[in-house]
Structure formats: structure tokens, C-alpha cells
Amino acid sequence: MDIIRRSSATATFRSLRQKDWEKISFLNSSNATRNIGIIAHIDAGKTTTTERMLYYSGYTRRIGDVDDGSTVTDFLPAERARGITIQSAAITFNWPPVQGEKGSKDIPSSSRAPGTPRSQTPHLVNLIDTPGHADFTFEVLRSLRILDGAVCILDGVAGVEAQTEKVWTQANNYRIPKIIYVNKLDRDGAAFGRTVKEVGVRLHGWPALCQIPWWKDGKGKLIGVGDVVNLRALSWEEGGDGKVIKSLNLTDVDDAFAKEIKKARVALIEILSEHDDEMVEKFLEYDEDHLAIPGNDLTESLRRCVLQNPQRIIPVFTGASFRNLGVQPLLDAVLDLLPSPEERPDPEISMGVTHSRLNELLAGRLALTSSPQSSKSGKQKTSPTKTQKTLPVVSNLQACALAFKVVNDPRRGVLVYVRVYSGSIDRNAALYNTNLSITERAPKLLRMYASDAVEVDSIAAGHIGVIVGLKYARTGDTLIVYSGANPKSGPPAPLNTLQLRPISVPPPVFFTSVEPNSLSEEKLVSDTLGLLLREDPSLNVSIDSESGQTHLAGMGELHLEIARDRLINDFKARATTGKIEIGYREAILSSSPQITEDVNREVAGKHSRASCTVSVSPLDGTEPRVIEEDDDSTHTSLQVESNDLIIHHPTYTRSGLKLSPDSANLPEHLPLPSIVTALRTGISAALSRGPTHGFSMHSTLVEVHLDPAQIHADSTPAAISTAVRLATQKAVKSAAAERGTVLMEPVMLVAISVNEADIGGVAHDISAARGGQVLSLDGEISSPVSPSATLTTSTSTFPTLHTVKEDFPPIDPRKIYTPPDPFASTDGGEDDDLIGTGSAQRRIVARVPLREMVGYLKHLRSLTGGRGTFVMSVEGFERMSAQRQKAVLKELGGGEGW
Ligand SMILES: Nc1nc2c(ncn2[C@@H]2O[C@H](COP(=O)(O)OP(=O)(O)OP(=O)(O)O)[C@@H](O)[C@H]2O)c(=O)[nH]1
């Protein structure tokens, strides 16, 4: 029997000083780095597992506990109070632990002996802990896009839950290699086998069991795991901190367990051979002896399979983090099986209408292809390639990074977490923000260990770090360093529009009012709201032009509750917030004539004037959302939330060139891009309040006809915004006077998991009592979206529910090997049948108006004896019937608006 001590015994990671860090230079190489996320259903044990990772890697001296609020990663007061993770915490540690302090000779070498796994040499792990609650899906998404790999934690009692499926699908969309950790196997009712079969059926991949649970005498007490890859058993001392692991040969464990490990080994080789030719060769090389192939060959084969796209093999590990059992081998698996930044696909970029890949750009091989878009006339046009001739020197592009998270730290100020994709960001570098078109300096750079930090001089490609001192950068912004750029005007076009993997922000569906308690509080409240928006772009702040009231809108009730908590408890803003309500939208039904509005007035002692001509018309949901354009187009199209905006500038190209020497000039201080920004601001304000009920406008096409003669030498952006706002308001009113407006309501795509016995009652309740439309039972979409529905915004965050079948053919659970479950009431065969037919647990997918889903969890629980769960995301907005509209208006106060 061997004792394995894969945890820090002497030095803590934190105790390494800056100069020691520099000495461990291999840790800075990106192939010794893992940027990993932990994804799972709420309460599966992400935070509990992360705390153990920090402890075993030597970063913490005691294990934090979710239940007594002492964890490192859930560090927001609101998170600690609720025991859930709200904000992704990015933390860095190394694994296996660096044992030497002060850069001594104890620091191991980076070189790996042939035939040994990667986990034998120290790596730098950047771990992103993502929230599990559905309201924070956006938070999960923006973390996902910077990850190179993910560990998906499952609750071994509950199995694969609805939220897990959703996040898994999202991770598939980003092509993120994943491994699974089945947690909580110490609990009564733990069902490893059933969970593994659910992985196959619901996550559409073949589970490759790298470990199986070791139950004492085959009964329900978990004492360790069987290591299928290395043919050994690992045990942890009961009640200990888990640092010491005993490794036993198969001859030293009871026969039944040894036999099961061998059975699992055969199954593992079989499944790998189906997906990896090299494994077939190994199998033949070792005379078709499943037990003779060395463990490291299996690890290499697993790695190749995990990196395949699409990923069909899902390595499975197991344990009980709360009992300090199973976490170190999981960390080894992160290094052994998940990719380094260098092994990831070239990141997607966009520059204006061009879509390409970052390394293509850097290598000067930019393929300038536009995303397929159609014109309003429906005609397809081939993509332009003209930008090539104007492409500036790319070798001056010294760094390209994505700000994936902004956090206001009470001690350090605003922290901007970045993932660097190329080059390196050095201290004091001038960062050009391509979303905001501004340059900011990066005065201080940090590497974060949850709430602790080490200052560094630079953050290199492949790494995650923090920039302190940026005043404007927001979550989701792309930051570039371009040598020789003028700090005012930024890098040359089109590099100044370079964006890394942009994600679309779903429309907020709930809102609340925020009222400062006194005039003197107004500034703090507005600054704090500004900061909340920098942190979380899925929040939205608007000011009702009539009542002057501030509205804070978000994705869900919990989302807004947390924002409210942050505002009042964390930032100590003195404000009163209203009830959380559904954010309906208002739409016009007919078009307006062209309306011109002149502004000619004194503002702050300065004379300013501008005119604008605007018309509006309804979008009926069948119109394409974006019209094709290139730098030579004589219009600019933009989207203002769910409304389209087209600015016609017949005498100028989109890039600001005058088409004929005879056409009127634009004033020098107002180039076309500044005018477009001013127009957008004014139109956005006008559309934030509908003419009849005061809800913001939806499905409106606003067309501005820009005549340079209307922009004068004394015009200002503010005057242009005001003129266009007034003109749009008048145009909307005129359209509403013709045929009125209609209310639109958010409609959710809902996935409900229930037991077989409850399916009829729940489906009936959805369609009869809640006006929902059942789309599928068990993931089979019976009918697409209702043809009568006016869905003008499709924002579903799990659209692949519709495509799962074609991407991944169904997996027959009878073909998945699993060891017996100690708590199983039926034998394995019957259980297989249950899972295969979906009789064990059924899933209903439906479209339901959000209004009918408020308080649904409680109702579902009562319908299903507490067993039903559901997830939902916004699918779009739909016009309401006259009857529903009447009911809603009555509820809101007699149809007089608010
Ligand atoms: N019995 C048992 N309980 C566990 C285990 N792991 C976690 N728990 C408990 O499960 C609950 C949820 O654990 P968390 O670690 O907060 O789960 P999470 O996935 O981070 O949850 P969110 O942050 O809300 O997304 C806590 O009460 C933990 O103590 C385990 O291995 N065994």
C-alpha cells in the first residue's frame, strides 16, 4: 500500500513572492496553464469542491464551509448570506502544489518524463466558479466563452438536472471540452450508475468511467474510489481533511471490488477504441489484453477523445467533496485531460461586418467573410473583400484581451478581469477599448486568488489576470494594445472595431423602480447603478421621460433582488426600490409619415441647432433583423434593443466618405460616426417609453433621413439627439393615433423535469391553466414555434434543445457500463429500461408566457410532491391577445398606464 500526498505539505502557494513567481517561469508558459470553469446545477457542490481544491493546493490553511459562510470563492455578502454563488470568482492556484518557498531548488522542473501524466508536473490553474441559478445564465455564458475546459459537477443523488443540461448545451456551443465529477456519493440514495446513464441519455455523450465508487462491503458507505485507468483503489481516511490518500493494488482489496474495477477497465478500453484509432493499436500491441495497457496510454487516449469536436466521450470521476474524498484525482484529471490555451481553436473575432479568427488576422491571412445576412429585399449578396487593401499593420497589435468580468472590490476598487488572447498586457500599457472607442492606461496588474492578490508586471497570452484602475471598461469589452496609436483616435480602422467573441445580451424581462431617498443621494445612486451596469451588462437602467423615475431591469426576480441588495447593502446607497414587475413592451401597428423636428436653442449660454427627419413603421417579426452593408453603403443599420434603426445618408458612405464633390459637407467637428452615435442616443430615449402604456417600444423600425444641410456649424451631438428624440416621439404618436398600440409579453422556453406519474398533470396545467404550448415530451420537439406567434426577438439560451437530435444521435443506456448502485431498488437491467424510455424521469419542454411562470416553482412542487424542477429562458416577446392585454392592464391599474 502506498500513501499519496498530493497536497501542499509545507509552503502555501500564497507565500511565494513575486520574484519566486518569476523563477517558476514554466508556470507562465501557456501549455502549463489550464483555464477551467466549474459548471453545474445549483447546489451540486461547486463551491464545496472549489474550497477543497484551494486547500489541497496549499492556497488556504483551512477548508471553507458553504453552510457557515466562510468560503473563499463566494465572497459577496449576498452570496454568503444565501449560500449560493452569484458572481463568477476567478481564482488562480497551482497543481500539483509548488513545495518550495523563495524559489529554492525544491521548485520542480517543468519537464515531464516520458510515459508519465501531465499531472506529475506543476501547472497553473485559473478556475472560474460559475453560478448555477438560472437567473445568472448570462454570467455563466460570459464565463464560458473564456474557458478552455470545464468540470461539470453532478449531484449523485439528483442525477443530471435541468440546469445542468442547459449549461452543458451552452458549453457545447462554445466547443468546450468537459469532464464530469459525480459528487455527494456519501448521501443516502446516491446513485452513481443511474447518474452515469443519465449522462449518456441527457448529455448525449458516451460516459467513460475513469473511476467507480468504492462502497464499504458493497453497501452504501463510500470509502474511496476505484481507479479504472491505473488499476488501483484509492481510499481516504474517514473524518480526515483528505490530504492523505491510500493507494492499494487490486490484490489488496476485496475480490468483488477488484473484479468490478477490471470490468470497468474493459468497458473503458472498449468505448475508447470506438472513438480513437490509437487505442485500437495499443489494444493490439498488448495482445488484446484490456488489463495490460499502461494507464498513461489510457490517459492519452482519453485526452485525444476529450479534445475531439464534437466531444462524444465524457470522462467521469467521482467522490464526495464535503467528506474530503475524491478532489485530488479530479485535479489531476483537469491537467491530464483538459486542454491548455495553446490547444484551443483560434478565437473568433469580428471587425465591423467582417468575421474571422484572431490568428488569421495576426498572421496577415485575414479571410474577410461577412456573416450570411440578407438585405431587406431578401436578396443575398456575396461578402465584400475590400477591407483587405485598407488593413493596417497588424504587427503593431501587441495585445488583444477580453474583459470578462468587472467587480467592485471594497478594498481595491474596480477590478477588471481579463483573458489575454494574444501578446501580453504590460503595466501602464495604453488599452484601446474597441466597444467604447476610448483609450485607458492599465496602471496596475494583478493575479487573483479569490479575495487575495499578487501584483504582476504583465499578463501574457493564455492567462487570466486583473487590471486595476480602469474607469470605463465593462464586462464583455475587447481591449487591444496597438503600438504607435494616437491615444485620442485609437488604432487605425478597421482594427479599432476588433471584437472578440461578442455575445448578445438577452432582453431584461423584469424591472423595478429605484428612487433616491433625497436629492443629495442622487449622485451616489446613479454612480452605483453605473457600476452595477459595468459589472453586469444583463442589467439595464432607463429613466422614464415622463415620471423621471429610474427603472432597473434584469433577467429574473432573483437577479434584480441581488442587484437591489448590492445597491443598498453593499454600496450603501440610500434609495427605495419598488415592486419587481414584468417588463412588457409596446408596439405600433401602422406606419407614420416622415416627421421633421427642428431644435434651435441656447444650452448653457451656447447656441445650438439641428434638424432631423424620421419615420417609423412596425416590424412584423418576419423581417430580417439586420441588413447587409459594407463600408461603401449609404445607410447605417443598428439595433436599439428589439427595434431596428436605419440611418440613410445618401450623400455619404458608411465609412464617412462624401460621394460627390457637390454634396453638402458635414461640419468638421461632427463626422458621420459622431452623428450616428447622437442619433442612436436620441432614438433610444424616445423608444424607452411607448405612447399608450409607457412600456418601452418593441418591433419598431425607425428610419432617419440624414441631410447634411440639416446639420449646421453650430450643431452639437446634444442638439441632434434632442431633435431626433422629439421627431421619433412624434412619429410614434402619429402611428399610434392611426391604429393604436399593442402590448407584447415575454414568452419563456421552459424545460420541466418530473416523474412519470406527474407528467399528465403538469402538462395539462401548463397548457390549460397557464396558456402555454407544450413543445415536447422528453426533448422531442413535437412542433416548432407556433406559426401564429409574433416572435421578434429570439434570445433562447438553450436553442440547441431543437438541434440536439441531429447533432447527437440518441445513446442507448443499455450499452453504457455502470457498476451496481447500493441503494438501487431494481436490478441494473430494469433500471436501464426505465432510463431508456424516459419513464424514470420525464421532461416537458413548453413555451409559456412569463406572467404565468411567476411563483411557478411552488406550484410545481405541490403538483409533484416536491420532486419537479424546471429551468427557463426568454424565447422572445409575443403580441398579447385583447383579452390577456385587458387582464394585464387591469392588474396594473385600470388600463391607464403607470
Ligand atoms: N453530503 C454532501 N453534501 C455536500 C457535498 N458537496 C456539497 N454538499 C452540500 O451541498 C450544499 C451545496 O453546496 P455548494 O458547494 O454551495 O453548491 P454550489 O454548486 O456551489 O451551489 P451554488 O453556489 O448555489 O451554485 C451545501 O450544503 C454543501 O455542504 C458532498 O459531497 N456531500
Is the CB–ligand 1 distance for residue 161 below 6 Å?
Answer: no
How confident is the model over 556-580, as a mean pLDDT? Answer: 85
Which atom of ligand 1 lies closest to the CA of 65?
29
Per residue in 544-562, pLDDT (tens digit) is 767 778 889 988 788 888 8
Which band of pLDDT confidence, cut at 50, 70 and 90, is reported for residue 470?
very high
Which atom of ligand 1 lies closest to the CA of 323?
31
| Mean residue pLDDT across the chain | 80
pLDDT at 450 over 70: no
Count CB atoms within 10 A of the CB of residue 185: 27
Tell me if 791 is assigned to a ligand binding site: no
> What ipTM goes with this model?
0.98
Pocket-testing residue among 48, 71, 143, 164, ligand 1, by greatest number of atoms within 8 A of Cβ: 48
| pTM of the shown model | 0.77
Q: Which residue type occupies 635?
A: H
pLDDT at 791 over 80: no
Distance 405 CA to ligand 1 centre (A): 24
Distance (Å, whole) CA 176 – CA 152:
11
How confident is the model over 95-109, as a mean pLDDT? Answer: 53
Distance 224 CA to ligand 1 centre (A): 19
Tell me if 129 is assigned to a ligand binding site: yes
- How distant, in Å, are the alpha carbons of 259, 600, 699, 888 from that of 850? 53, 45, 19, 12
Least confident span in 251-255, 315-319, 518-522: 518-522
Q: Which residues 6+ apart lie within 8 Å of 280 measured at CB?
A: 273
For 38, the grid coordinates are 466549474
User: Residue-wise over 633-652: b if at least 16 C-beta within 10 A, else e?
Assistant: bebbbbebbbbbbbbbbebb
Instruction: Report long-range pairs for 866-869 (Cβ below 8 Å, ≥24 apart).
Output: 867/754, 867/755, 867/758, 868/752, 868/753, 868/754, 868/755, 868/758, 868/762, 869/161, 869/162, 869/752, 869/753
Distance 665 CA to ligand 1 centre (A): 65
Burial classification of residue 677, based on how many CB atoms lie within 10 Å of its CB (0-12 exposed, 13-18 middle, 19 or more buried): middle
Closest CA to 473 of 416, 515, 530: 416
**Angle formed at CA 283 by CA 277 and CA 287, multiple of 5 degrees:** 145
Closest CA to 507 of 662, 639, 368: 639
For 431, the grid coordinates are 488599452
Distance 281 CA to ligand 1 centre (A): 42
474 vs 785 pLDDT, higher one: 474
* pLDDT number for residue 652: 83
Is the CB–ligand 1 distance for residue 184 below 6 Å?
Answer: yes
What is the DSSP secondary-structure string of 158-219? Answer: TBS-HHHHHHHHHHHHTT--EEEEEE-TTSTT--HHHHHHHHHHHH-SEEEESEEEEEGGGS
Which atom of ligand 1 lies closest to the CA of 49?
15
Task: Tell which phi-psi region holds residue 484, choosing left (phi > 0), alpha (psi between -120 and 50) or beta.
Answer: left
Most confident of 111-115, 334-338, 650-654: 334-338
- Please give the helix or strand (H or E) that residue 614 lies within, else none: strand 606-618
Distance 321 CA to ligand 1 centre (A): 8
pLDDT at 467 over 90: yes
3-state secondary structure 281-310: HHHHHCCCCCCCCCHHHHHHHHHHHHCCCC
* pLDDT number for residue 111: 58
Distance (Å, whole) CA 196 – CA 177:
18
Q: Which residue type occupies 4?
A: I
Is the CB–ligand 1 distance for residue 46 below 6 Å?
Answer: yes
Distance (Å, whole) CA 85 – CA 83:
7
Instruction: Report long-range pairs for 449-452 (Cβ below 8 Å, ≥24 apart).
Output: 449/13, 449/14, 449/54, 449/59, 449/72, 449/91, 449/92, 449/93, 450/54, 450/72, 450/73, 450/75, 450/89, 450/91, 451/72, 451/75, 451/409, 452/14
Distance 490 CA to ligand 1 centre (A): 47
Is the CB–ligand 1 distance for residue 602 below 6 Å?
Answer: no
Distance (Å, whole) CA 643 – CA 585:
11
How confident is the model over 798-806, as a mean pLDDT? Answer: 36
* pLDDT number for residue 894: 47
Per residue in 392-417, pLDDT (tens digit) is 678 889 999 999 888 887 777 888 99
Which band of pLDDT confidence, cut at 50, 70 and 90, is reported for residue 158?
confident
130 vs 705 pLDDT, higher one: 705
Per residue in 201-227, pLDDT (tens digit) is 889 899 999 999 999 887 778 999 999
Distance (Å, whole) CA 328 – CA 583:
46
Distance 48 CA to ligand 1 centre (A): 5
The count of residues in the chain is 898
pLDDT at 494 over 70: yes
* pLDDT number for residue 412: 79
How confident is the model over 269-292, as a mean pLDDT? Answer: 96
Tell me if 551 is assigned to a ligand binding site: no
Closest CA to 536 of 248, 137, 96: 137
Query: With contact defined as beta carbons under 8 Å apart, do 466 and 418 qualify?
Result: yes
Per residue in 31-68, pLDDT (tens digit) is 789 999 988 887 889 889 988 998 898 877 777 666 65
* pLDDT number for residue 7: 58
* pLDDT number for residue 637: 83
Which atom of ligand 1 lies closest to the CA of 67?
27
Least confident span in 77-81, 534-538, 793-797: 793-797
Q: Which residues 6+ apart lie within 8 Å of 300 measured at CB?
A: 278
* pLDDT number for residue 144: 85
pLDDT at 888 over 60: yes
- Please give the helix or strand (H or E) that residue 406 lies within, else none: strand 397-409
Per residue in 823-876, pLDDT (tens digit) is 765 444 444 444 443 345 678 899 999 999 888 888 998 898 887 888 787 888
- How distant, in Å, are the alpha carbons of 134, 504, 885 from that of 642? 22, 12, 20
In 60-148, beta strands by DSSP E:
89-95, 123-129
566 vs 153 pLDDT, higher one: 153
Distance 143 CA to ligand 1 centre (A): 21
* pLDDT number for residue 69: 58
Count CB atoms within 10 A of the CB of residue 839: 14
Query: With contact defined as beta carbons under 8 Å apart, do 412 and 468 qualify?
Result: yes
Least confident span in 168-182, 570-584, 782-796: 782-796
Tell me if 46 is assigned to a ligand binding site: yes
pLDDT at 531 over 90: no
User: Residue-wise over 799-827: b if at least 16 C-beta within 10 A, else e?
Assistant: bbbbebeeebeebebeebbbbebbebeee
Count CB atoms within 10 A of the CB of residue 738: 11
Distance (Å, whole) CA 94 – CA 760:
51
Query: With contact defined as beta carbons under 8 Å apart, do 860 and 888 qualify?
Result: no
Which residue's CA lies nearest to atom 7 of ligand 1?
45
Distance (Å, whole) CA 156 – CA 181:
9
Least confident span in 80-89, 336-345, 434-443, 461-470: 80-89
Helices (H) and strands (E) in the chain — how many of each? Answer: 21, 42
Distance 215 CA to ligand 1 centre (A): 21
* pLDDT number for residue 806: 40
Q: Which residue type occupies 345?
A: P
Distance (Å, whole) CA 748 – CA 726:
34
Least confident span in 70-79, 398-407, 627-636, 736-745: 70-79
pLDDT at 694 over 90: no
- Tell me what percent of the residues of the chain surpass a pLDDT of 90: 35
pLDDT at 17 over 90: no
178 vs 865 pLDDT, higher one: 178
pLDDT at 364 over 60: yes
Tell me if 239 is assigned to a ligand binding site: no
Is the CB–ligand 1 distance for residue 320 below 6 Å?
Answer: yes
* pLDDT number for residue 724: 92
Most confident of 300-309, 538-547, 757-766: 300-309
Distance 663 CA to ligand 1 centre (A): 68
Which atom of ligand 1 lies closest to the CA of 129?
20
Which atom of ligand 1 lies closest to the CA of 50?
15
Distance 161 CA to ligand 1 centre (A): 15
Tell me if 10 is assigned to a ligand binding site: no
* pLDDT number for residue 799: 34
pLDDT at 725 over 70: yes
Distance (Å, whole) CA 713 – CA 426:
42
Which residue's CA lies nearest to atom 21 of ligand 1?
43
Pocket-testing residue among 42, 47, 50, ligand 1, by greatest number of atoms within 8 A of Cβ: 47
Least confident span in 175-179, 218-222, 523-527, 682-686: 218-222
Distance (Å, whole) CA 386 – CA 868:
56
For 728, the grid coordinates are 421619433
Which atom of ligand 1 lies closest to the CA of 321?
31
Is the CB–ligand 1 distance for residue 299 below 6 Å?
Answer: no
Distance (Å, whole) CA 745 – CA 519:
34
Per residue in 637-692, pLDDT (tens digit) is 888 878 999 999 888 877 677 778 777 788 878 888 788 888 988 999 899 889 99
Distance (Å, whole) CA 749 – CA 728:
33
653 vs 593 pLDDT, higher one: 593
Least confident span in 551-555, 619-623, 750-754: 619-623
How confident is the model over 234-241, as a mean pLDDT? Answer: 92
- Please give the helix or strand (H or E) that residue 258 lies within, else none: helix 255-275
* pLDDT number for residue 132: 54
* pLDDT number for residue 876: 86
3-state class (DSSP) for residue 319: coil
For 125, the grid coordinates are 490553474
For 339, the grid coordinates are 486542454
For 575, the grid coordinates are 434609495
The values of phi and psi at residue 733, to 5°, are -60, -40
Q: Which residue type occupies 305?
A: C
Instruction: Match 426533448 to its residue by C-alpha cell.
Output: 779
pLDDT at 337 over 80: yes
Q: Which residue type occupies 314?
A: I
User: Residue-wise over 255-294: b if at least 16 C-beta within 10 A, else e?
Assistant: eebbebbbbbbebbbebbbebbeebeebbeeeeeebeebe
Is the CB–ligand 1 distance for residue 726 below 6 Å?
Answer: no
Distance (Å, whole) CA 16 – CA 19:
8
Is the CB–ligand 1 distance for residue 835 below 6 Å?
Answer: no
18 vs 677 pLDDT, higher one: 677
